[in-house]
Each structure stands twice: as C-alpha cells, then as structure tokens.
Chain A
Amino acid sequence: MDALPLAAPRPRPSAGVLGLAALLVLAYGIVPLTGTSYLFEALLTPFLALALAGLGLNLLTGYAGLLSLGSAAFMAVGAYAAFNLSLRLPFLPLPAAILLGGLVAALAGLVAGLPALRLRGFYLAVSTLAVQFFVAWALNRIGWISNDSPSGIITAPGLVVAGLSFDDPRGRYLFSLSVVTLLTVLAWRLVASPTGRNLVAIRDNETAARLVGVKVARTKLLAFAVSSFVIGIAGALWAFAYLRTVEPAGFNLDRSFQILFIVIIGGLGTLRGAFLGAGFIAVLPLLLSRLGAAVLGDGFDSGTLEMVQRMVLGALIVAVLIREPAGLAALLDRAGRRLGRRAA
C-alpha cells in the first residue's frame, strides 16, 4: 500500500448524515428556544432517557442477539450508584458521578452476563429476570443504598456541571441531549467497528463465529457490559434529569418490558430504532391523551380516556409489527426509498 492509510476516502455525506445534522440543529438550536417547560419536562427529557436505555438494550439484544429482561435493574444500578457516589464523594463532579454510575452498571451487567456463556434465548431471558428481582430486592432491603430513606426513595442532587446550573427544564433537557448524543456517537462507532461485526456474527451464527476466530465468550460479556453501561447512564438521566426523586418501584419489570418494546417496535439491530421506538412508546401515549382531552373536553372520565388511549396504542403496535416486523426503522427506510424513487 503506497497511499497514506489515514487518507482513506471518506464516504460522501449521504441523505442520512444531512438528516442527522438537521436533527441536531433542531434539537440544540430551535427546540430550546421555542419549547415550553411542558415539552421539556414531560416529553423530551423522558424520551431521551428511554431512547438511551433502548439504545443500550439494542446493543445487547438487537446486535448481539442476547435477550435481556433486566434493563430496568441496570437503570436502577446506574441511578443509585450515581446517587451514592455524588452523596458520599461530594468532591466528585456530577458528570464523573454519572460516568462512574454507568461503570458500576457495566460491572453488574458483566456479572449478569455470565449465564449467557451457557444459556441462550428464553433461558437467558429468565436468568436476567433474576437480576431484575435481585436488584429490586436489594434496593428495598439494603438501606445504605438509598441513604436509609424510607422505602428507598432518593432525591437527586441538582444538575450543576462546572459551576453551570442545568437545573431548569430547558437545562435538564440540554444536559440529557448532550449525554445521549455523545453515547449515540460512541455506540455508532462501536457497531461500525470490527467488534460490532463480531456482535452480529455471534447473533447470526455462533458456531461459524467461533470458527472464524471471534472470541465468543469475551464478546458476549463485552456486549453485556457495554449495554449495561449505556442503560445505567440512562437510569442516571432518568433519576437526575427527569424525575429527580425516584423510588425502586420506578425500575420494576414493567420498565424492563417497556424498554424491550421500544427496541422491538423501533427495530432490532438499528440505532435509530431506539429513538423511533421511544417516541412511539413514551411520547405517543402523552400526545394521545392530550389529543383525547382536547377533542372530548375536560368533562370526560379520565379513566375511560386512559383505557381508550391504551387500546389505540396497542392497535398501533400490532399494526406496525404486521406491516413491518423489522420495526419502525425499516418502515422509515422503505418510505424513504419510495420517496427517493418518486423524486428520481
């Protein structure tokens, strides 16, 4: 090779890259200027945290093919670890506490991933279920974790980074957005790397992967650790930026399922899928209920409204999965291609 290896031909900016840039301009530039507190607090911040959790689970389940039902447990580990670190080591800057919280979650993921060396499919899912229940039990039983507060409720410290306060709805949104953007870039680098290829190789054919020289056990544990790291950070965002007061019950099995559904609806094995799925699962219900309230008026029974909203959401989920089992990401791809053909 004569050519300088660093001067590799870079791929031309495609429509996807341009769309992404436009999205970032929108998220960083336009939304913070025009958005309302409700938009930040009730929609965007939880959307970002859940999308990040979905992203983390997608690395494990979508890319590496390892089914996990313990996502909420890893969120809880990340949140409670970051809380304890900032409480007990007050000199620690907040980003460092959140980062270390993610690393504690990664460690938990590593341990939880050990059964994956022997189990797969539903059996693995059941073993991650054990993690889910163990963490819930530990949070309720070990008072030290929640600084001996009754029923394990913790109140997160204010979001202050390098003297700059992010402690208002817009600031919390921007903080979450920055964390999510950074981790998404890292996840994208990971799945595009040879290691990311190995994850998919293990998912698609473990025997062949082993024979071409993929270190199967190490790669599976890596998938668990990285995935749990991302989910742990998402948990910290959930606690520090969104709710600010969290209890263990917020990280129950329902949450794990919610994150799994986000990944399935959004599209397994795609990074966009987590965001699309989070939009569908977390934001759409709120929009539906607002729509319902607006259409039917305040006098309508709120319980009935909620039920109707759930039914509509369920019907939408079924419709999407019938139309495109590979999720919203594939649906979007197809629509994009059709649009491109029409334009051409």
Chain B
Amino acid sequence: MQPALRPVRSGPEGRRPLPRSAARPAALPVAGGSPHRDRAGLVLSIEGLSLAFGGTVAFAEIDLAVGAGEIHAVIGPNGAGKSSLINAVTGLYAPQAGRVRIGAEAFARVPAGRLAALGVARTFQNLALFAGLSVRDNVLSGLAAARRAGLGAQILGLPAARREALAHRDAAEAVIGRLGLGAVADRPAGRLPYGLQKRVELGRALVARPRLLLLDEPMAGMTATEKAEMTGFIRAARETSGAAIVLIEHDIGVVMRLSDRVTVLDHGRRIATGTPAQVQADPAVIAAYLGLADEDADAEAA
C-alpha cells in the first residue's frame, strides 16, 4: 500500500495547525531519544520484555517508555512482534523475561482482569466487539470495571444503581456523540460496516477515560476518509483526556503525522526509538524497511 517511508508532510492532515488545548500536559516528552527517561512521569514502561512461543521468538529485550499525553507509535514489518507486544502488555501473553510498569505498579505478567482498573484500555487488530450488543451497550461495557452497584440493587432499581446507570449512560452518550455514532447507537454492533465497528471499539476503550490506550492497527482496512477521521479521533482523545497512547499502525504516513515518538521493531528486536524525523533518518530503519519492502508487498497482496 504505502511505499516504505515517505516525507512527513504528505497530506493536508499534516499541514493543519494542531489545536493544543490546555488539557494537554505541558511537559510533553516530544524530544529525547533514550527510552530510559525519568520514571516518574511515565504511564507505561516496558523493561527488557521478552516473549517466545516454544522456540519462536515473538520479541526480545524490548524497552519502551510512554509518558502521559504522548502518542507513541510502534511500527515494523509484518511479524515484527508488534501485536504480541501489545498482547503481553495487556496480560494475554505471559512474557518469559522483563517487566511491564503501568503507572506505579510493576508486573512480570500483567493481570488482564485488573487492566481496566489500572486505567488501561485497548482495541484489537481483529475486531473484538460484543456483536450481539447494541453500539451503546458496547460502549457502556467499557465501564464494566467502574460499576459499583450490586446485582440486587440493579434489579430492584435502587437509587444508587440508577444514579450510576445514568452517569454511565451520560458518559457513553458523550463518547458516542464525539465519535459520530449517534445514528447507529441502537443497532447491534456486529451488523455495522467494518470502519464503524473499529470506531465502536475505540469508543468502548475511550469511555472509561483510560490513562493508557493501546490501539492495535486502528486503521487497518479503512478507506482514506475513514483513516483521516480515525486520526482525528485519536488526536482528540489525547487532547481531551491526556491519555498516553501506544499505536500500532502500518500506514507510515499516518504514523509520521500522528505520533510524538516512534519505536521500530524488526524481527522481534527494537532497532530504533525517536521522533518521527529521527526514526525516518535512521539507517537501521531504512535498511529494515527497504530490505523487506518486497516481501512486505507480497504479504499484503496475499
């Protein structure tokens, strides 16, 4: 689809001046090449993380640090270990070595069931919506961890449960409105077109106002228009909530426009981290991409 690496300012998206709201933290770590910055401001810090399935190494000795309000892209050729990394950070895979720090807590294996309570939300490369639930209920389900009312209170409609349900509904409606899903809010999510389903998944992740948002190819298979919209949503999510965002994306143009920092994986190894401009100029990155460009094209054609 995309030629390996392209100049940063390619589309109209890139030229538009970004509205910088006050919600965005002042100390945005845009510059700086080393992943080992001071730990205090970090939302996510991956330290020497390694994962192998049997003899197959998914990734090895990965270091990655993401601060609040930062959009950090993870790119690399197919099979570089990007999705496995996200799955390890969300506790779906158990890494063999290293740690994952989320906020103040460090884990050898992240407890998937506690993830939402830790302020982490994610989307999936292949959709993982609740197909039988309406769009609204899908978004509401993103607040499952924030629910306090017990079953009895819910069934009897006690005031506390109703207040909570109403507050959650308001939060969901706000997200549905922001993402332009109002017209389909009552439709079953599984019956929507692919691009909208991706958007619903983003909504489910955003509704809990996570501190850390992990987006696994949020724009895969989308049209150019849908990609531009999704880019806007992701940027707006950062502006309004100040969340740290880890973004896996194949479209290099999008990555360069959207991210503050980029980490490049190749064959499960981190080969570069830096600003988009730094990464683009990195000889190792160029070699990895150019060297694999043909195979990449084959893989995508298949």
Contact = CB atoms under 8 A, between A and B. Distances in A.
B112 A205 contact: no
Contact of B141 (A193, A201, A215): A201
A8 B122 CA distance: 32
Given A208-B124, A213-B146, A194 B154 contact: yes
Given A197-B140, A208-B124, A208-B128, A215 B166 contact: no
B263 interface: no
A211 B157 contact: no
A211 B122 contact: yes
Contacts, number: 100
Given A186-B155, A190-B155, A198 B141 contact: yes
B162 A194 contact: no
Contacts of A194: 140, 144, 147, 149, 154, 165, 168
B5 interface: no
Contacts of A334: none
A227 to B, nearest CB: 14
Interface residues of A, number: 29
A210 B128 CA distance: 12
Contacts of B131: 204-205
Given A195-B151, A198-B141, A201-B144, A213 B128 contact: no
B133 A197 contact: yes
B167 interface: yes
Contacts of A211: 90, 112, 115-116, 121-122
Contact of A205 (B90, B129, B147, B208): B129
Interface in B132-162: 132-133, 137, 140-147, 149, 151, 154-157, 159, 161-162
A200 B146 CA distance: 18
Contacts of A207: 92, 112, 128
B115 A8 contact: no
Nearest to A193: B154
Interface in A205-244: 205, 207-216, 222
B92 A213 contact: no
Contacts of A213: 113, 115-117, 144-146, 208
A195 B159 contact: no
Contacts of B128: 205, 207-208
Nearest to B205: A212
A1 interface: yes
B115 A197 contact: no
A190 B167 CA distance: 19
A194 B168 CA distance: 10
A197 B155 CA distance: 13
A205 B130 contact: yes
Interface in B91-132: 92, 112-113, 115-117, 121-122, 124, 128-132
A150 interface: no
Nearest to B146: A213
B229 interface: no
B167 A212 contact: no
A297 interface: no
A197 B137 contact: yes
B187 to A, nearest CB: 14
B157 A189 contact: yes
A197 B141 contact: yes
B166 A8 contact: yes
B170 interface: yes
A108 B126 CA distance: 38
Contact of A209 (B121, B122, B141, B151): B141
A193 B155 contact: yes
Nearest to B133: A200
Given A194-B140, A194-B154, A201-B144, 7 more contacts: A5-B162, A190-B155, A204-B130, A208-B124, A208-B130, A212-B145, A213-B115
Interface of A: 1, 5-6, 8, 186, 189-190, 193-195, 197-198, 200-201, 203-205, 207-216, 222, 269
